[in-house]
Every structure is written in C-alpha cells, then in structure tokens.
Structure 1
Amino acid sequence: MLKHFHTLNGHQNPIYALANAPEKNTFFSAGNDKGVVKWSLETMGFVKVLVPVQSSVYALHCFGNLLFIAQRSGSILVFNLDEEKVIATLSFHQKGVFDLKTISHKNELISTGEDGMLAVWSLADFSLLYHFKVIPQTVRVIALSKDQKQMALGGKDGIIRIYNSEDYSLLHQLNSHTLPITSLQYAPTGDYLISGSRDAQLKIWSLPDYELINSIAAHMFSIYAIAFHPTQPYYATCSQDKGIKIWGSQDFRLYKILSLEKNTEGHSHSINKLIWSTDGAYLISTGDDRQVMVWKFN
C-alpha cells in the first residue's frame, strides 16, 4: 500500500510546513531554517531555496501562482511564483501564524495563530478586510468545507468552532476533545469533519449537523496532520509519536502503520506535517528530525 521510496536531506533544523506547488511533481518545505525549499518528485532532489525568511515558518499555502508563507514573527509573506519575488508582506498578527487558507469564491485569505485572532485578507490588493478574536489562546488549525461555505477552527481550549464563511458568524461549538486541537480536515466527499488533538484521539463529526459519530484512539501523542488521498478512500495521520498511519476514509479501519517501532522505515522524531502529491502517487512527511520522507503509494 505505502512504502518508503526516498529521503530528502538538506534542512538543518525541524520542519513544520509542506505544500504542493502548482508546477507538477514539485513541492515546498520550510521550518526553523532560513528559507523555503523547493523539491522535485521527478528527480527526488533539491531544486533551490525559493525565498529567505527572517523567522521560523509554521505554514505554507499555495493559491494560483502565489505562495503564502506564515512566520513565527506574525508576518505573512506573499511570494509570486511566476515573478520569483515577494510582492507583499501581510502584517497584523502579533504572534506566530499557524495556519492559512483561501476562500476562492470570495477571493480571500484567512489566517490565524498564537494570538487567537482570525484575520481576513483581500487577494485583490492584500488589504486587511476583517478580524476578530476567536479565543485568548492559540488557534492552531483551519479547515474549509467542500463548498467553502463553512470554516472549522481548532483551538488550544480543545473546542472546535464552526463559522459561516460568508459572514463569519459562529454556528457550532464542538466539545469532545480533552486537550488542544492540532489537526482538522473536512472529508473530500463532504459528509464529515475529522479532528485530531493532543489527546491522541481522532473524532468524526457527521455533516451537516456535526454529530459525533466515531472516536478513535489513533496515536500515542498529539496528532499533527490529517491528509486525505486525492482519489482513493484513504487518509493519513501523523503524530508526535513518530508514526504515520493509513486509515480507510469510509470504514475508518487502520490499514497501515509506518514507524521505526514497527520495524518499517520511519522518522526518528515528531512528525509535524503530511501531504499527498497532487496525483496521489506519493505521501510526503516531515518533522523534527529534519528529514523529508517520500512514500510511494500503490
């Protein structure tokens, strides 16, 4: 199903962020280094340092020909991939920005992080359109529903808040996790939301009412990412416990564990981020061991 294919070396410090590039078979990584790195899945090698950064990068997000780079300093760099230069710096957050998403039909970027604020930016001129306080603590993660009409925010208080993304009104508060929310994803099928937490649990919330329908003791420690395969009925999770797990997205069964402790190839430290390549041929993982690992799906 999934086996280790290649390990990409080059980062000198922990890596926190991954994003697929618009260009086929390429992706970006960044973390506690001084730059965002571009990699090729065709050559399985380093391409170049895309842009230098002044502080740690906590999130990367591509939209069209733009790469948004969220930093520990609170600033967000807007990098034009065609022009290969930074075209704007978004300054509002007073602390680290942990997640970014775009609401394409509104032409808006949303950002959140350690200051507990949600900021809404215009993609037309990068002006700040709106902002509000979600909680006094960190908001770690954002997820958008399939139609982008609803937005889920995961907070340090262990509560998932669901907002209407048209007017940012609060619709639901989901209370089941006992520790901070660290990962959120809506299923590509549009029928449920899945959440992961420092409590090592996965929770499945059915739509449209967000009823809790399943709780899974998924990992030993914090679940830092959930990634749905682009075409097949599977999703992957990764954790501070150094393991990657592959689950059925319809039956929620565990199909595969990738971990040094299970005598497979694996990471030696916390795994912070996972993405599938856009064609679904590879799973890419990274974390505190400074390695970018590529896993082949078949």
Structure 2
Amino acid sequence: MLKHLHTLPGHQNPVYALANTADGKGFYSAGNDKGVVEWSLETMSFVKVLVPVQSSVYALHRHENLLFVAQRSGLILVYDLLKQETISTLSHHKKAVFDLMVLPQKQELLSSGEDGELAVWSIRDYTLLYNFPVIRDTVRCIAVNQAGTEIALGCKDSMIRIYNSADYGLLKTLSGHGMPVTSLKYAPDGRFLLSGGRDAQLKVWDLPDYELQANVAAHMFSVYTIAYHPFAPFFATSSQDKSIKLWGADDFRLYKILSIEKGTEGHRHSVNKLIWSADGKYLISTGDDRQVMIWAFNS
C-alpha cells in the first residue's frame, strides 16, 4: 500500500514543515535550515531555495498562490508564489509559531504557538484582526472543520478547545489525552475529529457533539501528524517513535507500518510531518534525520 520510492537529501538540520505546491507537481519543506526549499515530484529532485529565513520554520501553509511561513522567532512571512517574493511579514507573536490555517470563506489566517494565543489575520491586507489568550502555555496545533464553522485547538495542557469561527467564541473543551495534544485533523467526510498526543494515543471524537468514540494506542511516543488521503479511505500518522502508520478511515484498522525497526525503509529519528500529494499518488514524510522521503501509494 505504501512503498518507499525516493529519499531526497539536502537539508542540513531537522525538518519540521511541508506544504504542496499550487500546481500539485511539487512540494515545499523547511525546518532548522536557512530557507524554504522547493522540490519536484515529477523529477523527484531539488528545484531551488524559495525564500531565506532568519530562524527555524515550524509550519508552512499554502493558500492559493500564497505561502505562509511560521518561524521560531514569532514572525510569519507571506510569500507570493506568482511574484516570487515576500510581500508581507506578520509580527505579533512574541514566541515560536507552531501552526497556521486559513479560513477561506472569511479570508482570514489563524496562527498559534508557544505564547498560548490565537491570532487572526486578514489575508486581504495582512492586518491583525483579533488576538486572544487560549491558555498560558503552548497551543500546538489547529484544525478547521470542512464547513469552516468550527476550529479545534490542541493545547499543551492536554485539552482540545473548540471555537466558533463566526465570533471565536469557545464552544466546548475536550478532555481525554493525558499529555499535550500534538496533532488534530477533521475527517474529510465530516464524521470525526481525530487527535493525537504526547501520550502516544489517537482519539476519535464523533461529530457534531464531539463525543469520544474510540481510543487507539497508535504509537510508542508522541503522535506528530495525522494526514488524510485526498480521496481514498485512509489516513496516515507519524510519530516521535520514528514510524509512519497507515490506517483505515472508517474502521481505524492498522494497514501498514513503515519503520526500520519493523524491517522496512524508514526514518532514523522522529517523523515530524506528513503530507499527501494532491493527486494522492505519494505520501511525503520528513523529520529529525534531515531526510525527505517519498512513498508511492497503491490502495
């Protein structure tokens, strides 16, 4: 179902962030290097350093022809992929920014990180619209439901907080994880919210009421990424335990483990990020071993 295809070397330090290109023919990666790198999926090779950065990049998020680059310094770069230049620098967070998400219907960018705040930016003129404290510590991850009406925030205090996107009012607080929440993803069909934590657990929350439906002992250590396939009924997870796992989206059955310890190709350190290519043919992974790996998918 997943087979190692290529390993792309080049990064000199751990890699934390991935994003697809607008045309679906490549992707971007960034981490504790000095720039955001563009790669081709057609030639399976390095293309160029897209934009230099002054500090580590913890998140990349592309919306149409804009690439948002979140840094450890707290700055967020707005890079125009058509003009091939940085067109704005968003400055508000005083500590590292860990996640970014766009609300297309509101033309707003959400950012969160180590300062415990959620910041809301206009992507029309890049002004700060709102900001408010969520907790006194890190807000690690953001997820938005398919309708764009609800926002889930994964927090260091082990709680998940659900907000209404209309006015950013708090709707619900979910407790279940025993340690910080490190990954969140709404199912494409709108049935579930999945959460992963430093407790190595994967939890399934039934929508719309966010009732805890299932708890899966998914990994040995922190679950860093949950990534749904674009159209096939699967999702992948990655972990600090150096493994990647493929799961059924309906039955939560484990279909594949990619790990050196299990005798397959794999990463030698923590797997920090996963994305699927837009056409669903490839899973892309990266982590602390500085490698970018391409996996061919066949259902």
Same-fold status (TM-score > 0.5): yes
Structure 1, unmatched stretches of 5+, are none
Q: Could you give the per-residue CA deviations for residues 40-93 of structure 1, whole angstroms, max 9, x where no partner exists?
A: 000000000000000000000000110000000000000000000000000000
Aligned to 1:126: 126
Is 1:284 aligned to residue 279 of structure 2?
no
SS in 1 for 2:39: strand
The one-letter code matched in structure 1 to 2:180 is: P
Matched-pair identity in %: 67
Q: Could you give the per-residue CA deviations for residues 151-185 of structure 1, whole angstroms, max 9, x where no partner exists?
A: 00000000000000110000010000000000000
Return the alpha-carbon distance in structure 2 between the equivalents of residues 142 and 293 of structure 1. Answer: 25
Aligned to 1:176: 176
SS in 1 for 2:105: helix
Aligned-residue Cα RMSD (Å) equals 0.4
1:24 positional shift = 2.5
After TM superposition, the score normalised by the length of structure 1 is 1.00
SS in 1 for 2:261: helix
Aligned to 2:263: 263
Is 1:88 aligned to residue 75 of structure 2?
no
The one-letter code matched in structure 2 to 1:131 is: N
1:31 positional shift = 0.1
SS in 2 for 1:105: helix
The one-letter code matched in structure 2 to 1:88 is: S
Aligned to 2:26: 26
1:26 positional shift = 0.7
Return the alpha-carbon distance in structure 2 between the equivalents of residues 179 and 32 of structure 1. Answer: 25
Is 1:252 aligned to residue 258 of structure 2?
no
Aligned to 1:103: 103
Return the alpha-carbon distance in structure 2 between the equivalents of residues 177 and 75 of structure 1. Answer: 30
The one-letter code matched in structure 2 to 1:120 is: V
The one-letter code matched in structure 2 to 1:56 is: S
Aligned to 1:64: 64
Aligned residues: 298
The one-letter code matched in structure 1 to 2:266 is: G
1:238 positional shift = 0.3
Q: Could you give the per-residue CA deviations for residues 194-243 of structure 1, whole angstroms, max 9, x where no partner exists?
A: 00000000000000000000000000000000000001000000000000
1:258 positional shift = 0.3
Is 1:237 aligned to residue 237 of structure 2?
yes
Return the alpha-carbon distance in structure 2 between the equivalents of residues 72 and 82 of structure 1. Answer: 26
Return the alpha-carbon distance in structure 2 between the equivalents of residues 176 and 108 of structure 1. Answer: 30
SS in 1 for 2:204: strand
